Structures are given as C-alpha cells and as structure tokens.
Amino acid sequence: MQDTLSLTFSALADPTRRAILQQLSKGDATVSNLAEPFLADMSLPAITKHLKVLEKAGLITKGRDAQWRPCKLKADGFKEATDWMKEYRMYWEESFDRLDEYLKTVTTTEKQKGKKNARNK
C-alpha cells in the first residue's frame, strides 16, 4: 500500500493529469469535457484511467448526475503535498538569503579592492 503523499506525487508526475487538473482549476467539468482536448492523441478509456489515478490520489472527485460524470478538484487532497513542500521552501529561502548576504559581502570587498588598486596606480 502506498502512502498518500506518494500517490499524490505519482499522480502529478504525468503531464496529462496535470493538464486535467489545470482544466478543473477553472471549474467543474464532465469526463467528456475533460477528455476533449486529448482525444486527438488518446482514447476516452485512457482519459478515464488518468481520472481514476487522480481520484485514487484524492485530488479530484467524480460524481454521478444521470448520464453525466461531473469531476471537480478536491482541495484537501493537495494539503499534505503542500505542507511537505512548505518545509523545503523555507529551507531554500533561508539558503538563498544566506547566499544573498554572502554575495553582498563579496561584491563590497571586490569594489573596495578595485578602488584601492585604482588609487595605487
């Protein structure tokens, strides 16, 4: 059994599934509407498999309304991944802040050396 974080990142790894999520970020859509942009390159059953992966990962919900299968984003499905990435974002921001400070000191030192060399000539 995979943990939910692995399921989420596995689902997000595929460009077709990311495109489907992008479509759903604009509002709910039926399976047919979601499949439309991809039908030139893949079959409806292939799209359905992608939707099942997204649903299993908890990123979308698929309902039933007569013959329609409305899909929508499931916001809480992204929470665990967002929380996990937030920790690393703080790490990288702190690293970039330290790098920025270091570069400022190096730049200041180089400017001072340049001025000193110019005066000695």
Is the distance from CB of 75 to CB of 25 less than 8 angstroms?
no
Q: Are residues 55 and 82 in the same domain?
A: no
* pLDDT for residue 96: 85
Q: Are residues 9 and 46 in the same domain?
A: yes
Round to whole Å and give the CA distance between 119 and 121. 6
Q: Are residues 109 and 91 in the same domain?
A: yes
Instruction: Answer whether 0.75 is exceeded by the pTM.
Output: no
Q: Are residues 23 and 54 in the same domain?
A: yes
* pLDDT for residue 118: 67
Query: Which CATH number covers residue 27?
Result: 1.10.10.10
| Number of domain units in the chain | 2
Give Cβ neighbours of residue 59 (< 8 Å, ≥ 6 apart): 8, 11, 12, 21, 73, 74, 77, 78
- Quick: pLDDT tens for 107-117: 887 777 776 67
Kindly indicate the confidence band of residue 91, based on its pLDDT and cuts at 50, 70 and 90.
Answer: confident
Q: Where are the alpha helices (DSSP H) in the chain?
A: 4-12, 15-24, 31-35, 44-56, 79-120
Rg for the chain, CA atoms, rounded: 24
- Quick: pLDDT tens for 3-52: 889 999 999 999 999 999 999 999 999 999 999 999 999 999 999 999 99
Q: Are residues 52 and 86 in the same domain?
A: no
Range of the structural domain that residue 84 is part of: 78-121
